A and B are shown apart, each in its own frame.
Chain A
Amino acid sequence: MKKVYLTVLQNQALTDSVYKMQLKGDLSGIRAGQFVNIALDGLYLRRPISVCDVEGDVLTIIYKVVGKGTERLSAMDGGEILDVLTGLGNGYFTDFAGDKPLLIGGGVGVPPLYYLAKLLIKEGKKPTVILGFNKAEEVFYKEEFEALGATVLVSTVDGSFGIKGFVTDAVKQVPEYSHVYTCGPEPMLKAVYNATTTGGHYSFEERMGCGFGACMGCSCKTKYGNKRICKDGPVLDKEEIIW
């Protein structure tokens, strides 16, 4: 963990309610699948947001406006300086990926898969990425994943874009995969767990007090014992998950 000050470079709407923000500063030690915890003036707790990309000293995050904190973030237009804890959580590891990893993201579970996809491609692997949304207007980052060289499938619940249905309907169209990496709402994670046949790494969310392992606010039970989502997670091995 590091406490750093990051400067907002830009903040741009990707959809009606989802924004992409770029921040500049000391990003040493950040891994794919980790998250940062952002302090905002007037709000007591920090806000945990996944790392979407790191390029040199520029961090990209993507967030959905759902309440006071994310609303405040969305109003920033550059130059603001934020107090951020970085390098939080275990992150995704590429060791288990095999040749054809399958990355599955739902809604704002999509962002952490981007940095992972980039690393996997750099290692010569051939990831397929499934992006799940409710409807066409919510879709984001399809082109960005394609530009990395990943095979991309999009599913929408109402069928207004790509495959009609859930991410698990898209899984049926993937002929072969070696490992699953996924992030999204818990019902989606559970559906992926049941619909896929290989091992996998699943990224969870929980309300957090500290975000760095001190308060036991985010505990969950696993087959390998009690874990803190913020410190021992957010990524859990498929083998250890207890639903």
Chain B
Amino acid sequence: MVNTKVNLCGVELINPVIPASGTFGFGYEFNDIYDINVLGGISIKGTTKEPRFGNPTPRIAECTSGLINSIGLQNPGIDAVVKEEIPKLRKIYRNAIISNISGFSVDEYAYCCEKINALKEVDIIEVNVSCPNVHNGGMSFGTLPENVEAVTKAVKKVTDKPVFIKLTPNVTDIVSIAKACEQGGADGISLINTSQGLRIDLKKRRPVIANKIGGFSGRAVFPIALKMVYQVYQAVKLPIMGIGGVATAEDVIEMMMAGATAVQVGAENLVNPYACRDIVNNLPFVMKKYGIQDLNDIIGVAHNE
């Protein structure tokens, strides 16, 4: 028997496979086709203070080995998520629930995290700092170390749950951002969110997406995500959830070798609804193939001289 258990800041996961925020809804669509209790954790749809309809459609554009999305954080708002969605998910799911929080000001992040802190159902808070900061000309929080540190500090003040800061790859120096998380007292780092991208409809001669630019993700971004996980592992002491282009058990192992303690699967869930289940099922076989007895032995091994 191989060991697939990993530990994220004291939260034990039966395996490191976690569907990524925004690609798994609140779990129900997938629970209709397989028992989602095979998953180590679930990162639920990004939640904001107020309910949001999100961006105009079209919100989706196909790319080679990936897609661009521009959902615009459609969600029912923190009150509905706290009162309805999380308790409902807990009824059908017994493993780690990761609550993904977005905001447009430092206060908004803190407001939502404080509400989530009161929920015993939630194991980890994941703070998505890719959103535009309304107090700073709409530039994304995640692009400036001082903003990331400020959000991290504000959130840590209102919760005793482990806090993972989820980073955007649309930065010049991911390491300085990761260090700001550590400085602010984060318990871990999730990376990467989507990379900005664009597609143009040749017939209409206009961008495919109504909002023009969107977030690119899917298999194509795997090497970029892997590189960033590798760099951040080297620079900070915090545990990492590796995200971006993961589609197979081999990808999970590669992410872990780069330095991830757990791994999230995003866009692949949308094109293969069984993706996460298949990865979980294949993981022990792929571990055997590469002589891995315990997943904990490979976290960051690629850094060894």
Residue of B nearest to A45 (CB): B62
Q: Which residues on A sit within 8 Å (CB–CB) of B23?
A: 214-215
How many residues on A have C-beta within 8 angstroms of the other chain's C-beta atoms?
Answer: 26
Q: Is the CB of A215 within 8 A of B271?
A: no
Q: Which residues on A sit within 8 Å (CB–CB) of B273?
A: 1, 3, 85, 210, 212, 214
- A44 in contact (CB, < 8 A): yes
- B65 in contact (CB, < 8 A): yes
The complex places the Cα of A197 from the Cα of B48 at a distance, in Å, of 41
How far, in Å, is A212 (CB) from chain B's closest CB?
5
Q: Which residues on B sit within 8 Å (CB–CB) of A208?
A: 60
How far, in Å, is B247 (CB) from chain A's closest CB?
11
Q: Is the CB of B69 within 8 A of A44?
A: no
Q: Which residues on A sit within 8 Å (CB–CB) of B29?
A: 1, 212-214, 231
How far, in Å, is A81 (CB) from chain B's closest CB?
16
Tell me if A's interface is mostly helix, strand, loop or mixed.
loop
Known pairs A44-B65, A45-B67, A207-B59; A214 contacts B218 (CB<8 A)? no
The complex places the Cα of A214 from the Cα of B60 at a distance, in Å, of 13
Residue of A nearest to B24 (CB): A214
- B196 in contact (CB, < 8 A): no
- A221 in contact (CB, < 8 A): yes
- Give which listed residue, A2, A39, A209, A220, contacts B60 with CB less than 8 A: A209
Q: Which residues on B sit within 8 Å (CB–CB) of A216?
A: 22, 25, 45, 54, 59, 71, 74
- Give which listed residue, B54, B57, B67, B69, contacts A206 with CB less than 8 A: B57
The complex places the Cα of A46 from the Cα of B62 at a distance, in Å, of 10
Q: Is the CB of A214 within 8 A of B74?
A: no
Residue of B nearest to A69 (CB): B62
Tell me if B's interface is mostly helix, strand, loop or mixed.
loop
Q: Is the CB of B270 within 8 A of A209?
A: yes
Q: Which residues on A sit within 8 Å (CB–CB) of B53?
A: 219, 221, 226
Interface size range on B against A: 20 to 34
Known pairs A44-B65, A208-B60, A214-B24; A219 contacts B271 (CB<8 A)? no
Q: Is the CB of B54 within 8 A of A219?
A: yes
- A218 in contact (CB, < 8 A): yes
Known pairs A1-B29, A214-B23; A44 contacts B67 (CB<8 A)? yes
Within 8 A of A (CB), among B168-183: none
C-beta contact mask, B138-151 vs A, less than 8 Å → 1, else 0?
A: 00000000000000
- A217 in contact (CB, < 8 A): yes
The complex places the Cα of A226 from the Cα of B32 at a distance, in Å, of 22
Q: Is the CB of B25 within 8 A of A44?
A: no
The complex places the Cα of A3 from the Cα of B22 at a distance, in Å, of 21
Q: Which residues on A sit within 8 Å (CB–CB) of B274?
A: 3
Within 8 A of A (CB), among B58-99: 58-67, 69, 71, 74
- Give which listed residue, B64, B69, B74, B219, contacts A209 with CB less than 8 A: B69
Q: Is the CB of A217 within 8 A of B271?
A: no
- A43 in contact (CB, < 8 A): yes
The complex places the Cα of A46 from the Cα of B33 at a distance, in Å, of 18
- B111 in contact (CB, < 8 A): no
Q: Which residues on B sit within 8 Å (CB–CB) of A209?
A: 59-60, 67, 69, 267, 270
Residue of A nearest to B270 (CB): A210
- Give which listed residue, A43, A45, A207, A215, contacts B22 with CB less than 8 A: A215
Q: Is the CB of B57 within 8 A of A218?
A: yes
Known pairs A44-B271, A45-B271; A214 contacts B25 (CB<8 A)? yes
C-beta contact mask, A185-200 vs B, less than 8 Å → 1, else 0?
A: 0000000000000000
- B47 in contact (CB, < 8 A): no
The complex places the Cα of A139 from the Cα of B61 at a distance, in Å, of 31
How far, in Å, is A82 (CB) from chain B's closest CB?
14
- B269 in contact (CB, < 8 A): yes
C-beta contact mask, B91-114 vs A, less than 8 Å → 1, else 0?
A: 000000000000000000000000
Could you name 11 residue pairs across A and B whose Cβ atoms are closer than 8 Å?
Answer: A2-B33, A43-B62, A207-B58, A210-B269, A210-B273, A213-B25, A217-B57, A218-B60, A219-B54, A219-B59, A226-B74
The 6 closest A-B pairs by CB, nearest first: A210-B270, A207-B58, A217-B60, A216-B74, A209-B60, A213-B29
